[in-house]
């Protein structure tokens, strides 16, 4: 009987093996496959601790032999200030779908960052105005840099307004991020949003800060930060007044900004226009007119993690195991 060895990949291995452009292509493909009914719905569950929580996201990618993928991520918001540790830490496990063999264990951080940004880029490709030139980024951490790099691959952005509760962080972000756009650190969020074609919120906020009165016609908003039921970035009244597209309706109604609008009695599940997979697969139109305001409620779905992790695994195996990579028997 053949005994499979398990590939072990560190964060630096993953970073080397998965480019942002490759991740965007993979994520768009998996949303299309889901919309075509070729990929079953993913699963998610979690547990809370006094200082944070653990999320487990699982997905099946059918094929020969196919893959079963599980991501286990912890989220501890106080880690940075108190311990000097990352807020998010975790691993991704890849199993063979035909026999359950453990094929790989990967550090999850780089995949989480890139697949989240990739989903925003895919959503923007279908939902933002094609001539979008100005974007506002709210929250200037690691995710913000990936978000902007991803957006620049699908939109002709020229000017970025960068905001953070820590103004020094926004200034450093503007000074150090190397992209082909002008980045202005600003303090007036309302002014920035009113003058933007695209708004990305990637913060740990627990109270909404994007209000209905600030968003002009035609704006595309990627609401990225609300990935648990106590996080919130978008005014529930705004959610209820515009077209909402979710990466997962189930998750959006449970932990996303859609969840808060439903809890406020302003929306129902049926008010969500579509899942991104339906639009990518061509079953529903994306943007239908220039003045339409569209919000992408991005809670992070397991198919994104799965396809990105499998892309890394297959690329590593195709290189047939560079001696830098390690195995566990």
Domains 6-111+303-328 and 116-300 share a fold: no
* 48: confidence class by pLDDT, cuts 50, 70, 90: confident
Classified by CATH at the fold level, domain 6-111+303-328 comes out as: ornithine cyclodeaminase, domain 1 (3.30.1780)
The mean pLDDT value for 105-115 works out to: 96
pTM confidence score: 0.94
User: In which element (H, E) is residue 93 found?
Assistant: strand 88-96
Across 77-86, 241-250, 280-289, 290-299, least confident range: 77-86
**What's the pLDDT score for residue 82?**
72
pLDDT at 1 over 50: no
pLDDT at 228 over 80: yes
Distance, CA of 155 to CA of 133 (rounded, Å): 7
Question: Over the chain, what is the mean pLDDT?
Answer: 93
User: In which element (H, E) is residue 113 found?
Assistant: helix 109-127
pLDDT at 80 over 90: no
**In contact, 65 and 99? CB cutoff 8 Å:** yes
Classified by CATH at the fold level, domain 116-300 comes out as: Rossmann fold (3.40.50)
**In contact, 210 and 199? CB cutoff 8 Å:** yes
Burial of 122: CB neighbours in 10 Å, binned 0-12, 13-18, 19+ = buried
Catalytic residues: 71
How distant, in Å, are the alpha carbons of 71, 207, 233, 240 from that of 229? 19, 11, 11, 18
* Residues forming beta bridges with residue 106, ordered by sequence position: 9, 92
How distant, in Å, are the alpha carbons of 4, 59, 96, 97, 98 from that of 64? 16, 16, 9, 8, 8
The mean pLDDT value for 155-183 works out to: 95
Per-domain boundaries in the chain = 6-111+303-328, 116-300
How distant, in Å, are the alpha carbons of 28, 49, 61, 90 from that of 115? 10, 26, 16, 15
């Amino acid at each position: 009987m053949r005994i499979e060895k398990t590939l072990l990949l560190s964060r630096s291995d993953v970073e080397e093996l998965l480019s942002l452009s490759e991740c965007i292509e993979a994520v768009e493909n998996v949303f299309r496959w889901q919309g075509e009914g070729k990929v079953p719905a993913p699963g998610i569950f979690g547990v809370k601790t006094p200082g944070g929580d653990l999320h487990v996201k699982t997905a099946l990618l059918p094929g020969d032999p196919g893959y079963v993928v599980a991501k286990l991520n912890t989220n501890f918001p106080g880690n940075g200030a108190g311990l000097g540790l990352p807020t998010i830490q975790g691993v991704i496990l890849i199993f063979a779908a035909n026999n359950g063999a453990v094929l790989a264990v990967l550090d999850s951080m780089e995949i989480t960052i890139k697949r989240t940004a990739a989903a925003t880029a895919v959503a923007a490709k279908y939902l933002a105005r094609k001539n979008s030139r100005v974007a506002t980024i709210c929250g200037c951490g690691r995710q913000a840099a990936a978000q902007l790099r991803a957006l620049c691959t699908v939109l002709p952005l020229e000017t970025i307004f960068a905001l953070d509760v820590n103004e020094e962080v926004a200034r450093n972000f503007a000074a150090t991020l190397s992209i082909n756009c002008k980045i202005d650190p600003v303090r007036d969020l309302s002014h920035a949003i009113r003058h933007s074609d695209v708004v990305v919120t990637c913060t740990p906020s627990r109270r909404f800060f994007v209000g209905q009165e600030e968003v002009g016609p035609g704006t595309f908003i990627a609401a990225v930060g609300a990935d648990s039921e106590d996080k919130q970035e978008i005014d529930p009244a705004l959610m209820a007044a515009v077209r909402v597209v979710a990466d997962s309706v189930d998750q959006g109604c449970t932990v996303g900004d859609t969840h808060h609008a439903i809890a406020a009695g302003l929306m129902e599940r049926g008010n969500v226009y579509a899942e991104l997979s339906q639009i990518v697969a061509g079953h529903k139109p994306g943007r239908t007119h220039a003045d339409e305001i569209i919000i992408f409620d991005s809670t992070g779905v397991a198919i994104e993690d799965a396809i990105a992790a499998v892309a890394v695994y297959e690329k590593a195996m195709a290189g047939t195991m560079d001696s830098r990579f390690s195995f566990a028997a």
